[in-house]
């Protein structure tokens, strides 16, 4: 009989005593980048704010007015810090279809141009955000909470700056290994 599976050869999770004996692998968070911890922190603050908003609105029937605005800004902070992880892993949306039909040298040249333009875009975005912050100064305040809007823009600027640094690191990895994920879609950033 072909294709038969020997059940005795499979890993056993049920012991002779009739109980499950499964152990989890150890969790290793040592490789977690600082941006991921920052995004997680903003996300938890966002969750607590939304919970407080829900509690005051539906349980106490007296909604806290500041929660909606602060939740919006915490969502912005979560996105801008979390986007850095996508840049670092090089898994943002990209089109690699045409690279399959290009000559190798042209594909390498265009992939390098994409890396350079990506770094330049993030640097430009960080600089423009800084210029906006300088222009606004301390006069622009949040609507419900008397805090400067530059705090929100500062998180965005730091997010763009971190994305620029991570994009430069990705470009260096692509240069060292002589190909990018655009040229070889089956590869990943872990294939160093």
Beta pairing partners, 14: 20
Is 22 part of a structural domain of the chain? no
Q: Which residues of 114-150 are buried (b: 16+ CB within 10 A; e: fewer)?
A: ebeebbeebbebbeebbeebeeeeeeeebeeeeebbb
Is 187 part of a structural domain of the chain? no
Is 13 part of a structural domain of the chain? no
Q: Using a pLDDT cut of 70, give the percent of the chain over it.
A: 94
Is 19 part of a structural domain of the chain? no
Residue 116, pLDDT above cutoff 90: yes
Residue 191, pLDDT above cutoff 70: no
* Whole-number pLDDT of residue 192: 56
Question: What are the residues whose beta carbons fall under 8 Å from the beta carbon of 22, sequence distance 6 or more?
Answer: 13
Is 20 part of a structural domain of the chain? no
Q: Which domain holds residue 47?
A: 34-177
Mean pLDDT of 79-86: 94
CA triplet 131, 136, 141: central angle to 5 degrees?
Answer: 140
Is 150 part of a structural domain of the chain? yes
Is 17 part of a structural domain of the chain? no
Count structural domains, the chain: 1
| pTM of this prediction exceeds 0.85 | no
Radius of gyration of the chain (CA): 24
Rounded distance between C-alpha atoms, residue 84 and residue 36, angstroms? 8
Q: How confident is the prediction for the chain on average, in pLDDT?
A: 88
Rounded distance between C-alpha atoms, residue 79 and residue 120, angstroms? 20
Is 159 part of a structural domain of the chain? yes
Task: Indicate the burial class of 56 (C-beta count within 10 angstroms; 0-12, 13-18, 19 or more).
Answer: middle
* Whole-number pLDDT of residue 3: 64
pLDDT tens track for 145-181: 888 899 999 999 999 999 999 999 999 999 998 888 8
């Amino acid at each position: 009989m072909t294709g038969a599976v020997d059940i005795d050869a499979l890993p056993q999770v049920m012991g002779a005593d009739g109980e499950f004996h499964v152990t989890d692998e150890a969790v290793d968070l040592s490789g977690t980048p600082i941006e991921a911890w920052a995004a997680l922190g903003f996300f938890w603050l966002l969750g607590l704010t939304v919970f407080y908003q829900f509690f005051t609105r539906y349980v106490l029937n007296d909604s806290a007015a500041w929660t909606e605005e602060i939740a919006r800004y915490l969502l912005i902070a979560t996105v801008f810090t979390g986007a850095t992880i996508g840049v670092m892993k090089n898994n943002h949306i990209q089109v690699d279809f045409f690279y399959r039909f290009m000559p190798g040298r042209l594909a390498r040249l265009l992939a390098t141009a994409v890396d350079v333009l990506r770094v330049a875009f993030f640097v430009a975005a960080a600089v423009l955000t800084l210029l906006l912050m300088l222009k606004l100064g301390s006069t622009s305040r949040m609507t419900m909470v008397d805090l400067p809007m530059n705090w929100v823009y500062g998180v965005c600027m730091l997010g763009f700056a971190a994305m620029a640094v991570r994009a430069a690191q990705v470009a260096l990895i692509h240069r060292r290994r002589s190909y990018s994920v655009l040229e070889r879609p089956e590869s990943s950033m872990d294939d160093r």
